[in-house]
Amino acid sequence: MHLIRIALASLANRRFTALLTVFAIALSVCLLLAVERVRTEARASFANTISGTDLIVGARSGSVNLLLYSVFRIGNATNNIRWDSFEHFANHRQVKWAIPISLGDSHRGYRVMGTSTAYFEHYRYARSQALKLAQGREFADDPFEVVLGAEVAQALGYGLGENIVLAHGVATISLVKHDDKPFTVVGILERTGTPVDRTLHISLAGMEALHIDWQNGMPARGAAQISADQARAMDLQPKQITAFMLGLNSKIATFSLQREINEFRGEPLLAILPGVALQELWSLMGTAEKALFVVSLFVVLTGLIGMLTAILTSLNERRREMAILRSVGARPWHIASLLVLEAFALALAGVAFGVALLYLGIAGSQGFVQANYGLYLALNAPSSYEWKLLGGILAAAVAMGSVPAWRAYRQSLADGLSIRL
């Protein structure tokens, strides 16, 4: 016990260097854990994005591209597909349910998705969880009704009954607004932690009504304009959609139906298995993620080397301290353990401070990260993997501490009790 007391008092005596060392270690530990958390969370939320869907079908492009725009609302479709193609496969004998998706509009940076009520019924995320309404109801017969994702409602402060105007295109700042046809919020979904939270859901009829008077990609002017009420009375059956999701009666049919869709003669289509495409996408990002992890490991190593340097440089000026300890009975191994203890104490303080920083950081940025990146960073206790990382850092610190310990051991054997000033 007294060795610990001496080690701590000696460190306190050099508190400025000690604090800097602790701070360097803390920052590196915090970085490592933050990278680890974001990595784990990103992977989890990624894998949780969609479940229960057997096939996603869109215009022929790349599978990752199709996955990105249909599920993650990132990027755009290269082409639309015809409604009759959708109908053809929706009525296929192997198909249990089908969800049409129509994309292309946005509201203040959030994507608008046109779909059918089948979406609320069949879409699943995480471990087969269905979408639930936190407030209100699903959109119904009136085309100008919208159901908000949890984050949209929260971030923009919308409640039920709010009238909102959608914008054409998906840029954050949109020049063309559908301000002649406002939508009414009729429902708000519960939070899912997936891109659904960042989506505004309208009916396909609503999507059609928005663009019914558009010609050549431009809104109609003057007499050609069709008002919302006029639109309500018109036939709002869409001719085209962007993609659709399929649930099958039997998983076994997945591959044969996939081939059938890919070879469909009506128009070029692409069917993907969400799980396979997710894996493909993750393997793309996996390299970056691993690189990030390796970089943060090196940052920790740098922090520890900083500690090693600080202890080694202090050795010479502490020869007197060592000699005094020897004269009052400390054996050379006492001196060595004193230095290992010192390294351990610095690393322990660094790790503790780093973990505290991490939790402070998470508490402070939780909302921001969720709103902007859709990642929910929980204030969980460290996972067993994180404990292992922390233990590894401490072990590395002790291993490094043995370098000055060995030097001090040799030095104190040579110096003995004489104090060379």
* Interacting residues with another protein (CB under 8 A): 2, 5-6, 9-10, 12-13, 320-321, 324-332, 334, 416-419, 421
Q: How far apart are CA 307 and CA 25, in angstroms?
A: 8
Q: Which two tokens stand for residue 280?
A: 């493909």
Judging by DSSP bridges, how do beta strands 167-168 and 81-82 pair with one another?
Answer: unpaired
Distinct helix (H) and strand (E) counts, the chain: 13, 15
Residue closer to another protein (CB basis): 298 or 333: 333
Q: How far apart are CA 21 and CA 29, in angstroms?
A: 12
Amino acid making up residue 389: L
What DSSP line would sit under 63-124, residue for residue?
Answer: HHHHHIIIII--S--SS-EEHHHHHHHHT-TTEEEEEEEEEEEEETTEEEEEE-THHHHH-E
Give me the residue label for tokens 């959608």: 166
CB of 348 to another protein, least distance (A): 19
Residue closer to another protein (CB basis): 325 or 400: 325
- Reported as type and span, the H/E element at residue 141 is none
Q: Which two tokens stand for residue 413?
A: 């054997």
Judge contact between 170 and 47, C-beta under 8 A.
Answer: no
Residue closer to another protein (CB basis): 160 or 419: 419
CB of 279 to another protein, least distance (A): 58
Q: How far apart are CA 181 and CA 210, in angstroms?
A: 7
CB of 329 to another protein, least distance (A): 3
Residue closer to another protein (CB basis): 141 or 317: 317
Residue closer to another protein (CB basis): 247 or 332: 332
CB of 406 to another protein, least distance (A): 16
CB of 316 to another protein, least distance (A): 15
Residue closer to another protein (CB basis): 378 or 414: 414
Residue closer to another protein (CB basis): 12 or 360: 12
CB of 19 to another protein, least distance (A): 15
Judging by DSSP bridges, how do beta strands 199-203 and 110-115 pair with one another?
Answer: parallel
Residue closer to another protein (CB basis): 13 or 365: 13
Beta bridge partners of 265: none
Amino acid making up residue 348: L
Residue closer to another protein (CB basis): 171 or 417: 417
CB of 404 to another protein, least distance (A): 18
130: region left, alpha or beta (phi > 0 left; psi from -120 to 50 alpha): beta
Judge contact between 200 and 152, C-beta under 8 A.
Answer: yes
What DSSP line would sit under 152-221, residue for residue?
Answer: HHHHHT--TT-EE--EESS-SS-S-B-TTS-EEEEEEEPP-SSGGGGEEEEEHHHHHHHTTT-BTTB---
CB of 9 to another protein, least distance (A): 4
Nearest C-alpha neighbor of 67 from the set 284, 371, 290: 284
Residue closer to another protein (CB basis): 16 or 368: 16
CB of 308 to another protein, least distance (A): 22
Q: How far apart are CA 16 and CA 216, in angstroms?
A: 70
CB of 401 to another protein, least distance (A): 19
Residue closer to another protein (CB basis): 190 or 415: 415
CB of 1 to another protein, least distance (A): 9
Q: How far apart are CA 79 and CA 261, in angstroms?
A: 16
